[in-house]
């Protein structure tokens, strides 16, 4: 059974460029989460969706970040324009059900470097 799939695994870009990260959740899961991990700030929740609807985006750092989930099997996180401080590992996770007891399944992450 395929786990959460993220692409690309690594992205190097220059400041000011647009970056799009992609995620395919586990089939049948109805909640999807985007996290950012850095040494300084640890693991931060950026946004999560339930049944393709954004529920809480209070963790999105600023207007340069946007996320969409057009259907149950695909989500994107876009940064436009990118800045060096956006360099981090971005994880997508999905879960079945909607409660706090449910296990989240993480993808392998996208390592973003903004020069």
Partner 1 sequence: GNSVTQMEGPVTLSEEAFLTINCTYTATGYPSLFWYVQYPGEGLQLLLKATKADDKGSNKGFEATYRKETTSFHLEKGSVQVSDSAVYFCALGAGSARQLTFGSGTQLTVLP
Spatial distance between the Cα atoms of 84 and 75, rounded to a whole number of angstroms: 23
74 vs 105, beta carbon nearer partner 1: 105
Question: H helices within 31-70, ranges in order?
Answer: none
Among 48, 79, 112, 114, binds partner 1 (CB under 8 A): 48
- Please give the torsion angle defined by the CA atoms of residues 9, 83, 85 and 64, in that order, rounded to the nearest 10 degrees: -90
Question: What would the x/- binding string for partner 1 be over residues 83 to 102, using CB under 8 A?
Answer: --------x-x-x--xxxxx
Close Cβ partners of 90 (under 8 Å, ≥ 6 residues apart): 6, 21, 34, 35, 36, 37, 77, 109, 110, 112
75 vs 95, beta carbon nearer partner 1: 95
Q: Is 14 in the site for partner 1 (CB under 8 A)?
A: no
Q: Is 25 in the site for partner 1 (CB under 8 A)?
A: no
Q: Is 106 in the site for partner 1 (CB under 8 A)?
A: yes
H or E, element range at 68: strand 65-71
Binding site for partner 1 (CB under 8 A): 4, 31, 33, 42-43, 45, 48, 50, 55-56, 91, 93, 95, 98-109
């Amino acid at each position: 059974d395929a786990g959460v799939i993220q692409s690309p695994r690594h992205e190097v870009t220059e400041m000011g460029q647009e970056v799009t990260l992609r995620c395919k959740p586990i089939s049948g899961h109805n909640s999807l989460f985007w996290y950012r991990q850095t040494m300084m700030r640890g693991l931060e929740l950026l946004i999560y969706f339930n049944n393709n609807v954004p529920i809480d985006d209070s963790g999105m750092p600023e207007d340069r970040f946007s996320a969409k989930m057009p259907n149950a099997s695909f989500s994107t996180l876009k940064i436009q324009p990118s800045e060096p401080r956006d360099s981090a590992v971005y994880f997508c996770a999905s879960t079945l059900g909607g409660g706090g007891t449910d296990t989240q399944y993480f993808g392998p992450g996208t390592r973003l470097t903004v020069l």
